[in-house]
Amino acid sequence: MKDGLAWRRVLSVLLLIQGVRAIDLDLTSEDSIKNAASNAAYGMMIHYHGNETGHIPGKLPNTWWEGGAMFMTLIQYYHYTNDSTYNEEVISGMQWQAGDCDYMPSNYSSYIGNDDQMFWGLAAMTAAELNFPNSDDGYSWLALAQGVFNTQVARWDTSTCDGGMRWQIWTYEAGYTMKNTISNAGLFQLSARLARYTYNESYYEWAEKIWDWAASSPLLSNSTWNVADSTETTNDCATQGDDQWTYNYGAFLGGAAYMYNYTNGTTKWLDAVEGLLNVTLEKFFPAKHGGEIMSEILCEPTEVCNDNEIIFKGLLSGWLMLTAYLVPSTYDTILPKLQGSAKGAAGSCSGYSNDTCGVRWWNSSWDGWIGLEEQMSATSIFFANMLPFLDSSTAAPVTSTTGGNSTSDPSAGTTDTTDDDTTTSAITTGDKVGAAFLTSGLIGAWVVMIAWMLFF
């Protein structure tokens, strides 16, 4: 992680002179919002080379999970802006990395974690819910999400802490003894979304099981609504790592919103949505910045966010948008936060006079940071502001009975024989999602940045 941060600081110093033109964003104009999202998405895809000869579709340098997050962003971007520019890259990358219909591709499965795989499953679920164009000869989006679910619930670990998902899959991985929030909250959300889409109660039962276990562990408090980052099997989950990250709250919040919608507004899930939402908005929209601009509070103030952490706000942006759709009573609370954050993000996208986006939106000016991750989060907060322009009856995620056309395969992934002996790639910490063990991109980002500055 130190190497990646050092490179970012070098870039900030060497390229200190910045343009003053930010993204021109008018939140009352649908076209203006779409244009802002388009500019940010273009800046993101400059860093992607998986569609070029000699590169691997869906694979980003030094990381695997981020490809799933990027494609999930682009699927939403297409749905809310109707810009299909990147659809072929999405389809190709998501099918290439699909493994045996479960996102356990043989080249990477020896070192990816449960959370890494889960993000690809959420991307596939998003594609199913938003009727993203299907692959002509690949797996259906719904089947891919089901494949991830099937392989993950088979790893539900009752040998310690009475349940829960471990962070890592294999015993030799650093972090195997950890049970972390994003692995559990992500699977909870995926299960809830599968329940709503398919109306299969077994998915609902798993979602409730994961939630109830998390609430009985140090990861989630259903009284204070604090969401911790991790707990340890070595002491039977008696303690917690209480780092506060936007995506941990967002993953639980989004899943609770789906459960609320699926159960037609039961009190349990309304309480969960309201409790998590209130704490999320209070914690990650600091009053010292006006109270309406999102901030990754653990790393932004001291400028130590690594690549993975920069994405987290974008993930929360998308999940807040979905919550406003699925739980209409939250709409008026959420919209001002999305709008304030978008205004700040637009101001941060003023680098090099070509809409390069920074990390800290509350600056309302470029902070000298540059990368795929910064552009990804900006893309998300911009398309999330399409919320007032969309008919909730048609823009909300579909189900199998409300227009969804993705083919179901309840047994997907159950015949996968992938194990650590069939893989060929070296283990790198860059493919881990957990906050304490992440690394940033290195020299490749430098080359891309120089080329972009000179030619765009």
- Would you say residue 417 lies in a domain? no
Q: pLDDT tens-digit profile of 285-337?
A: 999 999 999 999 999 999 999 999 999 999 999 999 999 999 999 999 999 99
Closest CA to 419 of 159, 108, 150: 108
Percent of the chain past pLDDT 90, that is, above it, reads 83
Give the CATH number of the domain where residue 442 resides.
Answer: 1.50.10.20
For residue 306, give its domain range: 2-404+423-455
How far are the Cα atoms of 227, 268, 323 from residue 274, in angstroms, in the given order? 14, 10, 10
Q: pLDDT tens-digit profile of 232-247?
A: 999 999 999 999 999 9
- Would you say residue 252 lies in a domain? yes
Hey, what are 155's tokens? 């790893």
Closest CA to 84 of 96, 93, 75, 92: 75
CA atoms of 341 and 24, how far apart (whole Å)? 14
Q: Are 371 and 445 in contact (CB under 8 A)?
A: yes
How far are the Cα atoms of 92, 169, 188, 214, 230 from residue 278, in angstroms, in the given order? 39, 33, 20, 19, 21
> How confident is the model at residue 22, as a pLDDT?
73
Angular region, 179: left φ>0, alpha ψ -120 to 50, beta rest: beta
Hey, what are 273's tokens? 């949505």
Q: pLDDT tens-digit profile of 137-161?
A: 999 999 999 999 999 999 999 999 9
The residues, any chain, with a CB within 8 Å of residue 261's CB and separated by 6 or more, are 196, 326, 327
- Would you say residue 409 lies in a domain? no
Q: Which of 1-10, 49-58, 414-423 has the highest mean pLDDT?
A: 49-58
Angular region, 326: left φ>0, alpha ψ -120 to 50, beta rest: alpha
Burial of 34 (0-12, 13-18, 19+ CB in 10 A): buried
CA atoms of 194 and 129, how far apart (whole Å)? 10
DSSP characters for 265-289?
S-HHHHHHHHHHHHHHHHHHS-GGG
> How confident is the model at residue 416, as a pLDDT?
75
- Would you say residue 242 lies in a domain? yes
Q: pLDDT tens-digit profile of 173-221?
A: 999 999 999 999 999 999 999 999 999 999 999 999 999 999 999 999 9
> How confident is the model at residue 444, as a pLDDT?
42
Hey, what are 164's tokens? 């829960």
Q: Are 123 and 69 in contact (CB under 8 A)?
A: yes
Q: Are 228 and 219 in contact (CB under 8 A)?
A: yes
Q: Compute the radius of gyration of the chain from its Cα atoms.
A: 20
CA atoms of 25 and 37, how far apart (whole Å)? 10
Q: Are 295 and 285 in contact (CB under 8 A)?
A: yes
The dihedrals phi and psi of 130, each to the nearest 5 degrees, come to -105, 15
The residues, any chain, with a CB within 8 Å of residue 379's CB and separated by 6 or more, are 37, 40, 41, 44, 73, 77, 314
Which SS3 state, helix, strand or coil, does residue 46 take? coil
- Would you say residue 72 lies in a domain? yes
Sheet holding 230-232, edge to edge: 178-180, 230-232, 240-241
Report residue 427's pLDDT band, with 50, 70 and 90 as the boundaries. very low
- Would you say residue 289 lies in a domain? yes
- Would you say residue 410 lies in a domain? no
* Sign of the C-alpha dihedral computed for residues 362, 228, 152 and 188 taken in this order: negative
Q: How many CB atoms lie within 10 A of CB 63?
A: 25
The structural domain count of the chain equals 1
**Placement of tokens 């043989």 in the chain:** 106
22 or 80, higher pLDDT:
80
State the greatest distance between any 2 C-alpha atoms of the chain, in Å, as a whole number: 57
> What's the first-to-final CA gap in the chain, in angstroms?
29
Closest CA to 43 of 15, 14, 65, 74: 74
State if pTM tops 0.85.
yes
The CA-based dihedral angle spanning residues 266, 268, 271, 272, taken in that order and rounded to the nearest 10 degrees: -120
Closest CA to 269 of 203, 197, 208: 208
- Would you say residue 178 lies in a domain? yes
